């Protein structure tokens, strides 16, 4: 299989003067030439699987730690991230990002390398012998949909970027940024074209591949991202109406005594119908990275008090609505009398909670307590992540077999509801229908329609539902930027659990977010310097 060589959009190989032409014909200067490579179905399929490699994972991505979405909540108000790797995720919320910060350059460069690979496959796949012409066109459609995915990710992170629809030659090195309308139109056309030759669903062994439903789901995300709410709702509704054809549904535990939401993120969820984009084996280190040190974990993700406070009581009330006395009780003991949304206990390990025969004591100063708050490889907030931390992995913390939900069906339901609300369709009964469906699955009561009857209140509700439903899956990072609320959520003090000694929430850190700059990542300095046509994002000059 050919070795992947990463290049920036400005074709850095051309700095070498000689050998540039050869590089543009092959992915490695020592690899076989195109006329010999593109001959067998295995060549096309193997190359296509390399393009899938850039889809984000959970706790495991040895070659690209910063593309592990289980850590991206550290770039939001959900988590304080601290580890001996991916330092940028810890530093950026402190206002320490620059145009030379590694994650900004790495994501930009690697994403364009996958776009280039997808373009090369589309330019050469016809040369290969594939016995079934339908399968052959399916491979091309997958590459096209993946190329759209990578452009969508660049748009969400950097804003409008140069569209690349073919493998660039040396004379095309200095590409200009396209407009947002052009990028959106390109992504939409790519996904619509790809959908034509993609199947409704795959066998279990190939469930990681993009399907028709994937394309419609990504179209919903695309239009929600840019505020085209009618289109976002339309595409999400296609997925909902055709969920039977696509094989999608909310996950339900086989045992009615088990909470279905909690069940989804353990081994029973590996084959769940909730999967839309699912990366196999991408969360095999979930236990090692998130469990407390007393259980052999590294405790890299520490949930914030802000997130914990977002979970309603079982009566459907926020703790802020309960009055001062009750608020104080739930702040000190978040799961007081087990009366909180079950998604909290499924997702967050709380102080003094027993987990796998260990009592998690972040505020205890007893000798030998390796879980004490603030220590290396220990919680920074008094809370830890429990989602995806399956107790059966305690004896194999590095080598479980969990995958990662990059996109699941509940997010499409939430996309649809949000798009309806923002499109001023407040009276549409689908809003309450699908919110109740998500809430009931987790054991929560129906929406109080007397309280949530206006656009502002429904917006408040759906944003809270997105936060607790999708916690630690990477989505919050995109949401707070899309809603333009990061200047509020990512500025100032971050708190953790209540310290029993002071009876006050533990102060973790102070964060900095510049709304004139930080809603978009910067185009990497290397790219700006090497491409005279490249325009930097505002505030990063």
Q: The CATH number of the domain where 232 resides is what? A: 1.25.40.390
Sign of CA dihedral 20, 24, 28, 32: negative
Q: Indicate the residue among 348, 376, 400 that finishes a domain.
A: 400
First-residue to last-residue Cα distance in the chain: 40
Inform me whether the pLDDT recorded for 16 exceeds 60. no
What whole-number percentage of the chain has pLDDT above 90? 88
Q: Indicate the residue among 341, 370, 400 that finishes a domain.
A: 400
The reported pLDDT for the residue numbered 19 is: 33
Sign of CA dihedral 277, 145, 484, 227: negative
The reported pLDDT for the residue numbered 460 is: 98
Inform me whether the pLDDT recorded for 123 exceeds 50. yes
32 in a domain, yes or no? no
Q: Identify the band that residue 66 occupies on the pLDDT scale cut at 50, 70 and 90.
A: confident
Inform me whether the pLDDT recorded for 6 exceeds 60. no
Inform me whether the pLDDT recorded for 23 exceeds 60. no
The reported pLDDT for the residue numbered 17 is: 33
The average pLDDT across 379-396 equals: 96
Inform me whether the pLDDT recorded for 535 exceeds 90. yes
367 in a domain, yes or no? yes
Assess whether 359 and 347 both reside in one domain: yes
Task: Indicate the length of the chain as a whole number.
Answer: 541
28 in a domain, yes or no? no
The reported pLDDT for the residue numbered 75 is: 97
Distance CA 211, CA 199 (A): 5
What whole-number percentage of the chain has pLDDT above 70? 93
Inform me whether the pLDDT recorded for 171 exceeds 90. no
Q: Identify the band that residue 28 occupies on the pLDDT scale cut at 50, 70 and 90.
A: very low
- Beta strands per DSSP E along 2-54: none
The rounded mean pLDDT for the chain is: 92
The reported pLDDT for the residue numbered 157 is: 98
DSSP code at position 513: -
Reported as a single tens digit per residue, the pLDDT across 34-59 is: 767 799 999 999 999 999 999 999 88
The average pLDDT across 375-385 equals: 97
Number of domains, the chain: 2
- Residue 234: is it exposed, middle or buried by C-beta count within 10 angstroms (0-12/13-18/19+)? middle
The average pLDDT across 451-476 equals: 98
Inform me whether the pLDDT recorded for 152 exceeds 50. yes
83 in a domain, yes or no? no
274 in a domain, yes or no? yes
83, two tokens: 């580890």
Assess whether 278 and 291 both reside in one domain: no
Least confident of 22-26, 178-182, 231-235: 22-26
**Residue carrying the six token digits 């400005």:** 10
With vertex at residue 10, the alpha carbon angle to CA 5 and CA 13, rounded to the nearest 5 degrees, is 45
Distance CA 294, CA 311 (A): 27
530 in a domain, yes or no? no
Q: Indicate the residue among 342, 377, 400 that finishes a domain.
A: 400
How many Cβ atoms sit within 10 Å of the Cβ of residue 388? 27
Reduce the DSSP state of residue 310 to 3 states and report it: coil
Inform me whether the pLDDT recorded for 25 exceeds 60. no
Assess whether 373 and 342 both reside in one domain: yes
Least confident of 18-27, 158-167, 303-312: 18-27
Assess whether 296 and 369 both reside in one domain: yes
**Residue carrying the six token digits 């185009």:** 523
295 in a domain, yes or no? yes
**Residue carrying the six token digits 């543009």:** 24
Reported as a single tens digit per residue, the pLDDT across 396-454 is: 988 889 999 999 999 999 999 999 999 999 999 999 999 999 999 999 999 999 999 99
The reported pLDDT for the residue numbered 32 is: 63
Assess whether 304 and 379 both reside in one domain: yes
Q: Identify the band that residue 62 occupies on the pLDDT scale cut at 50, 70 and 90.
A: low
Assess whether 239 and 301 both reside in one domain: no
Q: In terms of residue numbers, what domain contains 321?
A: 285-400
128, two tokens: 């290969």
| This model's pTM is above 0.85 | yes
Assess whether 414 and 442 both reside in one domain: yes
Assess whether 392 and 252 both reside in one domain: no
Distance CA 185, CA 213 (A): 19
Reduce the DSSP state of residue 329 to 3 states and report it: helix
Assess whether 324 and 424 both reside in one domain: no
The reported pLDDT for the residue numbered 61 is: 60
The average pLDDT across 186-193 equals: 98
Assess whether 264 and 293 both reside in one domain: no
Q: Identify the band that residue 2 occupies on the pLDDT scale cut at 50, 70 and 90.
A: very low
Assess whether 393 and 423 both reside in one domain: no
Inform me whether the pLDDT recorded for 378 exceeds 70. yes
Inform me whether the pLDDT recorded for 18 exceeds 80. no
418 in a domain, yes or no? yes
Reported as a single tens digit per residue, the pLDDT across 176-189 is: 999 999 999 999 99
The average pLDDT across 239-262 equals: 97
Assess whether 303 and 451 both reside in one domain: no
């Amino acid at each position: 299989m050919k070795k992947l060589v990463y290049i920036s959009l400005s074709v850095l190989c051309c700095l070498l003067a000689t050998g540039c032409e050869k590089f543009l014909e092959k992915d490695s200067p020592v690899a076989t030439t195109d006329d010999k490579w593109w001959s067998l179905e295995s060549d096309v399929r193997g190359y296509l699987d390399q393009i899938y490699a850039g889809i984000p994972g959970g706790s495991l991505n040895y070659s690209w730690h910063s593309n592990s979405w289980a850590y991206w909540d550290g770039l939001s108000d959900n988590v304080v991230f601290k580890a001996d790797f991916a330092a940028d995720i810890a530093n950026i919320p402190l206002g320490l990002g620059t145009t030379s910060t590694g994650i900004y350059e790495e994501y930009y460069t690697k994403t364009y390398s996958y776009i280039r690979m997808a373009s090369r496959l589309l330019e050469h796949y016809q040369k290969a012998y594939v016995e079934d012409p339908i399968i052959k066109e399916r491979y091309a459609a997958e590459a096209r949909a993946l190329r759209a995915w990578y452009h969508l990710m660049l748009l969400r992170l950097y804003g409008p970027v140069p569209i690349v629809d073919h493998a660039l030659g040396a004379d095309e090195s200095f590409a200009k940024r396209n407009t947002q309308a052009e990028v959106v139109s390109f992504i939409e056309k790519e996904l619509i074209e790809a959908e034509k030759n993609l199947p409704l669903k795959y066998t279990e062994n190939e469930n990681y591949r993009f399907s028709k439903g994937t394309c419609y789901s990504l179209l919903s995300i695309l239009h929600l991202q840019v505020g085209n709410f009618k289109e976002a709702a339309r595409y999400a509704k296609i997925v909902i109406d055709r969920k039977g054809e696509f094989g999608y549904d909310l996950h339900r535990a086989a045992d009615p005594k088990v909470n279905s939401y909690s069940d989804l993120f353990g081994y029973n969820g590996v084959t769940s119908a909730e999967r839309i984009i699912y990366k196999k084996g991408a969360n095999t280190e979930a236990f090692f990275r998130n469990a407390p040190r007393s259980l052999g974990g590294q405790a890299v993700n520490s949930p914030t008090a802000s997130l914990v406070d977002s979970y309603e009581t079982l009566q459907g009330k926020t703790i802020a609505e309960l009055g001062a006395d009750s608020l104080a009780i739930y702040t000190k003991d978040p799961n007081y009398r087990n009366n909180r949304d079950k998604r909290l206990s499924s997702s967050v390990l709380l102080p003094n909670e027993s987990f796998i025969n260990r009592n998690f004591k972040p505020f205890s100063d007893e000798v030998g307590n390796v879980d004490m708050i603030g220590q290396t490889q220990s919680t920074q907030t008094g809370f830890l992540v429990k989602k995806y931390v399956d107790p059966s992995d305690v004896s194999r913390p590095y080598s479980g077999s969990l995958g990662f939900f990059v996109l699941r069906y509940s997010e499409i339901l939430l996309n649809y509801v949000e798009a309806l609300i923002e499109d001023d369709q407040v009276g549409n009964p689908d809003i309450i229908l699908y919110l109740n469906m998500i809430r009931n699955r987790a054991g929560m009561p129906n929406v109080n329609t007397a309280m949530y009857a206006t656009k502002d209140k429904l917006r408040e509700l759906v944003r809270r539902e997105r936060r607790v439903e999708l916690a630690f899956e990477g989505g919050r990072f995109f949401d707070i930027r899309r809603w333009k609320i990061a200047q509020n959520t990512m500025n100032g003090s971050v708190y953790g659990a209540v310290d029993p000694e002071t009876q006050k929430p533990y102060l973790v850190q102070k964060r900095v977010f510049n709304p004139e700059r930080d809603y978009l990542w910067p185009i990497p300095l290397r790219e700006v310097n090497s491409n005279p046509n490249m325009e930097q994002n505002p505030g990063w000059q």
